[in-house]
Amino acid sequence: MRALKDLVDIAERAAERAANLVRAARPPVADRWTEKSRHDFATQVDRESEELIAETLTGMLPGSIVVGEELSPNAEYRGEIVWLVDPLDGTTNFLHGYPQYAISIGALVDGVLSVGVVHDVTRDISYRAARGLGAWSGATRLTIAGLTDPRRALVGTGFPFKELDRLEEYLRQFAVVCRSTSGIRRAGAAALDLADVAAGRFDAFWELTLAPWDIAAGIVLVREAGGVVTTATGGDDMLRDGSVVAANPTLHKWLLDLLKNAK
C-alpha cells in the first residue's frame, strides 16, 4: 500500500489540475445546464473536471477506484484505495459567478477514510490532510477553533435543497442555532465549509443531506485539525447517512444536543 503522504500528493496533483481547468472555464449559459434533480445542476465543466481527476488518480495509482459525482456515482466501494471525488463542489455558485467552489478528493484506504484534499478554486488555496499526519494548507498546520461559548460562535450550515421534505426539520434546527450563537453562514460548498472549520474560521458546521463526495475530504481535514465529526444523531457513518456535525469537542456536544432537541 502506498504511504498516506504519497496519496495526499497524488490527490493534490489531481485537484490542482482540475482547479486550473475550472478556473479557465466560463460558466455556460443557463439553457446548457443539466438539471440532475430539482436544484441540482451539472455542466460540461463538471464532467471534464472529473474526467481529468480520474485520469490523474488512476494514472498515478493504477488499480485504484474512483467514485465520482458525475461519471461514476454508483461505483462500488471495493478496493485497497477508493477515491471519493467531487469535481466541482458548489456548481450553482460557479454558474452564477459566486466565488465559492472547490475540488474535493477523499480516499478510503482499506475501507477507512484516511486522506482528504480540498482545493479552493477561486482563491487557489489547497487544504490537505491524512490520518495521523495533521491538516495543512501550504506550510501552515490547521487547528480547529478553541472557542467554547456558543453565544460567541460562528456556525456554518447548508440547506436541504435537494430534499425539501426535510426543510421543516432543518428550519427548526436553524431557529434554535440562530437564537444561541453569534451568527450562521451558508456559502453553498460543503467541502469549503468543512475546510473553514478545520482552519478555525467556523466554530462549527452542520448539514442534513450531503453525498459522500461532498464531505469525505472535509471530514479528514476537521479530524486532523483536532475536531470531532459525526452524523446529526451522533453516529460515525457520515458517508452513508449524509448528515454532518463538526466542531471542537465542546461545541460538538453542545450542537449535537441542540439539534436533537430542536422543536
pLDDT at residue 117 greater than cutoff 70: yes
**69 CB-near residues (< 8 Å, 6+ apart):** 46, 50, 85, 86, 87, 211, 213
State pLDDT tens for residues 176-207.
Answer: 999 999 999 999 999 999 999 999 999 999 99
pTM over 0.75: yes
Categorize the per-residue pLDDT at 56 as very low, low, confident or very high, splitting at 50, 70 and 90.
very high
Residue 229: its pLDDT value, please?
98
Residue 186: its pLDDT value, please?
97
The CATH code belonging to domain 150-260 is 3.40.190.80
Q: Which helix (H) or strand (E) holds 131?
A: none
Categorize the per-residue pLDDT at 78 as very low, low, confident or very high, splitting at 50, 70 and 90.
confident
Residue 124: its pLDDT value, please?
98
Q: Which three cell numbers stand for residue 158?
A: 447548508
Residue 172: its pLDDT value, please?
97
CA pair distance 9, 105, nearest whole angstrom: 11
Q: What angle do CA 178, 103, 24 make, to 5 degrees?
A: 115
State pLDDT tens for residues 245-260.
Answer: 999 999 999 999 999 9
Residue 234: its pLDDT value, please?
97
CA pair distance 60, 53, nearest whole angstrom: 11
What is each CA distance from 192 to 126, 157, 180, 227, in whole angstroms? 10, 11, 24, 15
Query: Tell me, what amino acid is at 175?
Result: A
> Is 232 buried (19+), middle (13-18) or exposed (0-12) by CB count in 10 A?
buried
SS3 content of the chain, % helix, strand, coil (to 5): 40, 25, 35
State pLDDT tens for residues 202-234.
Answer: 999 999 999 999 999 999 999 999 999 999 999
Residue 34: its pLDDT value, please?
74
Residue 253: count of CB within 10 angstroms of its CB: 14
> Is the C-alpha dihedral spanning 131, 134, 135, 138 positive or negative?
negative
pLDDT at residue 88 greater than cutoff 80: yes
> Is 9 buried (19+), middle (13-18) or exposed (0-12) by CB count in 10 A?
middle
Report the percent of the chain where pLDDT is more than 90. 86
Q: Residues 4-141: name the CATH superfamily.
A: Fructose-1,6-Bisphosphatase, subunit A, domain 1 (3.30.540.10)
pLDDT at residue 85 greater than cutoff 70: yes
Q: Quickly tell me which residue has 491524512 as its cell.
A: 130
State pLDDT tens for residues 7-39.
Answer: 999 999 999 999 999 999 988 777 666 766 555
State pLDDT tens for residues 126-176.
Answer: 999 999 999 999 999 999 999 999 999 999 999 998 888 999 999 999 999
Categorize the per-residue pLDDT at 72 as very low, low, confident or very high, splitting at 50, 70 and 90.
confident
Listed by start position, the domains of the chain span 4-141, 150-260
